[in-house]
Structure 1
Amino acid sequence: MIRKLRLKFTASALASVLITLVLLMGAINIYNYRTIAHNADQILYILKENHGVFPDLDDPFGTMHKPDDYSKETRFESRYFMVEMDTDGSILMTNTSKIQAIGIAQVIRYAQKVYSSDEQSGYVNNYRYLQYHDGSTTCLLFLDCNRSLHNFYNFFITSIVVSLIGFILVAILIILLSSRAVKPLVESYEKQKRFITDAGHEIKTPLSTIQADLTVLEMDGLQNEWTDDIKYQTKRLSKLTNDLIYLSKMEETPVDEMLEFPLSDVVSETAASFEARAITENKTVQTDIEKNITYKGDQAKIEQLVTILLDNACKYSNPNGKILLSLHRKSKGIQLMVYNTCDSIDKENINHFFDRFYRQDASHNSQTGGYGIGLSIAQAIVQAHKGKIVATTSDEKSLEIDVTL
């Protein structure tokens, strides 16, 4: 239990850290990338509005087209070229006087690629381009963003490496501190288990005394409806106490011995023991049990599991109801299914059926003698065998409990 709690805490904390790092690094890198594109587009629009050249800083008209970070060095730092094409895609003019890193042939290939894409702006290799029309002429401006993109990619790789290192360091800290983080929960849980066990043993003593006194009274001929009621209620309380103690022990030592046993025979014998009860209550029990299924587990607890499920089906099935038990070997393991009809069932609350003391109908539970703890024990037994148990209803007039071992 403590190990599971630590694992859940560690997994949740690491998932939170990982999601935070991914979102943070993603936001930073996306912002950087968009900033590079935005700055490049600003320069391209300056060139567009000034016919392929940078305006003079002293020119009042030119200052209308400059971004805030534009300086005298911008024209010398920016490497770009320009291509003009006619309506059929033929090259009219190329201007590569402001760049030395690319030849005419490559310029033409880039221009034709952008012209055929019909995109107004974007990237071709490490060049940011702007395509616009000037009368019947198509103009294409290309700005070399190699240095900016190179810096971006370096930062991107660095951010990933730093994030991974940070994540590993945080993971180590979380793992080391997880026991301290869950310590209050563990202490509370241990106190709860200790209280249940101690209280259970303390309650059993006066209950045994009451039952012994009732036996003496009955032997003296003082049996009446009041003593019968006391006897019935003490039996219910004794069963509840035993179930709570058993459930607490199940969480401490889930299984005694894992030995292979004939599961088909155990399920068949347990189902047969309920046939007389079903006949008395005008209910039918049908079985569909595959033969020769063996299972490695705690035989006593598996037998108790089947007993709990059948007892639950008998208690809460409607008058003249139908109970079906099946056992089959499936690809995912061994499937045990218990189905029963009922008057009504709330589909929204079906997931709470395995909660301790959950009772959908309190009046019905008082009549059947249930406390809502049987399915909790069934779940504990299944989990101790690394299995899965689920409750479903298809029409809110029946309940199906499926166990996969």
Structure 2
Amino acid sequence: MSEKLRLRFIGIASLCVFIVLFLFLVCINVWNYSNMTHNADRTLNAISANNGIFPKIHKDKPKGEFIPEKRLEFSPEEPFSTRYFSVTLNGEQEQIAINMNSIASVSLGEANDMTNSVMEKGKDRGFYGSYRYHKTEVEEGTLLVFLDCTKDLFFTNNFLLNSIYVGGAGFLAVCFLIVLLSKAAVRPVAESYEKQKTFITNAGHELKTPLSIIDANREVIEMENGESQWTQSIKHQVERLTRLTNQLTTLAKMEESPEKKFLENIDLSNIINDVCDEMEAFAQGQGKTIVSSVSPNVMINGNEDQLRQLLYILLDNGVKHSKENSVIEVTLANNGKLTIRNQAYLEQTGNMNILLERFYRMDSSRSRQTGGYGLGLSIANAIVEQHKGKISIMALKDDTLELTITLR
């Protein structure tokens, strides 16, 4: 159990670290890309506002002279380091002017192809390869400005790859520390759980002796004075406590010994038919009926004693906690999927796996009447887990409680 708890702690902690790290890397890379496009658009807006030419930069603003703010946003070196070209089109989308003085990597034919492709897209802004473009309407018609963002995209992509490498290395390092420190982290919980199981086992064994003595004294009193309501009450309470201690001891032993019992290839269909036949008389005594639909020759690898105990628990629970004059349906599919349905007193619908918890009872008053303690389904769950299977309980709309078990 402690190893299972440790593995669960490692998985949850690693998942949390991965989610936080992933969101952080996504946010920082989105911010970096947005910052790059923002700077490119700022330059394109300035060029478009200056009729396709990079505006002149003034180091010092002359007194009394108005200079547009866009000219003051750039350093004096940017006109020389910015690679761009602009194309002017008339109303018929025919090229009437082109400025390629600030770029050498694009030929005139390539510029025409890029212009035609961008005009077909119909977007005012975007990327064409490694070029960011901006389309604006001017007096002559349409002005297209293309800005070379090759270096910016290279640095952005390089930053993305480096952040992935660093993030991956950081994630592996944190996972290593989580694995290294996980034993110390779960040790207090594991020790508390082990002490709890040991206490339950020891208490169960210690209670058997006084219960046997009480029952023996009751028998002596009955032999001397005859039966009375008091001796019968003592007998009833001793039986309840004996049943409770046996269930607690059984559950604790199953959890203390995670190793499987001897497993063999067995016919699950025959086991279910036998248990249903044996429980039929008990169900009829309660005014209820067990109806089974079992596929023949369903073979699984398991322990026959445990599987019989599992079926007795499930059918006993289904009979005791179902409505009067109802039917308990038992179905076994060819793939080994076992389904048990019964009409129950339900106050809600949906997932009811909480019934697998120890001492949980939907209706305490009815459980007292039937002598239940809320341990039967916990034992059934432990048996299913030892067989590496899955168990689920669903409350359906028509007051039907459906219990499904899948055994491998």
Give CA-to-partner distance per residue, 1:238-291, whole Å, 9 cap, x none: 111111111111112243211222322222221111122222222112222222
State the Cα distance separating 1:199 from its structure 2 match: 1.4
AA in 1 matched with 2:241: L
State the Cα distance separating 1:373 from its structure 2 match: 0.9
Structure 2 Cα separation of the partners of residues 9 and 342 of structure 1:
37
Tell me the residue number matched to 2:321. Answer: 316
5+ residue gaps, structure 1, are none
**Do the aligned residues in 1 keep the contact of 2:57 with 2:75 (CA within 8 Å)?**
no
State the Cα distance separating 1:404 from its structure 2 match: 1.0
AA in 2 matched with 1:30: V
RMSD: 1.6
Structure 1 Cα separation of the partners of residues 24 and 345 of structure 2:
54
**Do the aligned residues in 2 keep the contact of 1:290 with 1:329 (CA within 8 Å)?**
yes
- Relative to the length of structure 1, the TM-score reads 0.95
State the Cα distance separating 1:349 from its structure 2 match: 7.0
Tell me the residue number matched to 1:114. Answer: 118
Give CA-to-partner distance per residue, 1:52-76, whole Å, 9 cap, x none: 23123156433422464x2111111
AA in 2 matched with 1:259: E
AA in 1 matched with 2:193: Y
Residues 1:266 and 2:266 are matched in the alignment: no
**SS of residue matched to 2:334:** strand
Segment of structure 1 superposing worse, 341-350 or 28-37? 341-350
Residues 1:393 and 2:398 are matched in the alignment: no
Structure 2 Cα separation of the partners of residues 396 and 216 of structure 1:
52
Tell me the residue number matched to 1:381. Answer: 383
Structure 1 Cα separation of the partners of residues 183 and 304 of structure 2:
34
**SS of residue matched to 1:110:** helix
Give CA-to-partner distance per residue, 1:137-162, whole Å, 9 cap, x none: 11011111111111111111111111
Tell me the residue number matched to 1:30. Answer: 30
* Shift in CA distance, 118/262, structure 1 to aligned 2, threshold 3 Å: closer
| Pairing of 1:135-154 with structure 2 (within 5 A) | 135-154=139-158
Residues 1:56 and 2:57 are matched in the alignment: yes
AA in 2 matched with 1:74: E
Structure 1 Cα separation of the partners of residues 397 and 54 of structure 2:
76
Structure 1 Cα separation of the partners of residues 36 and 284 of structure 2:
81
AA in 1 matched with 2:306: K
Tell me the residue number matched to 2:299. Answer: 294
Tell me the residue number matched to 2:341. Answer: 339
**Do the aligned residues in 1 keep the contact of 2:346 with 2:395 (CA within 8 Å)?**
no
> May I ask how many residue pairs the two structures share in their alignment?
401
Tell me the residue number matched to 1:2. Answer: 2
Tell me the residue number matched to 2:249. Answer: 245
**SS of residue matched to 1:101:** coil
Tell me the residue number matched to 1:215. Answer: 219
**Do the aligned residues in 2 keep the contact of 1:56 with 1:62 (CA within 8 Å)?**
no
Please identify runs of 4+ aligned residues in structure 1 that moved more than 4 A: none
Structure 2 Cα separation of the partners of residues 25 and 328 of structure 1:
48
* Shift in CA distance, 291/239, structure 1 to aligned 2, threshold 3 Å: same
State the Cα distance separating 1:386 from its structure 2 match: 0.8
Segment of structure 1 superposing worse, 367-376 or 261-270? 261-270
| Pairing of 1:74-153 with structure 2 (within 5 A) | 74-153=78-157
Q: Identical aligned pairs, as a percentage?
A: 39
Structure 2 Cα separation of the partners of residues 112 and 139 of structure 1:
13
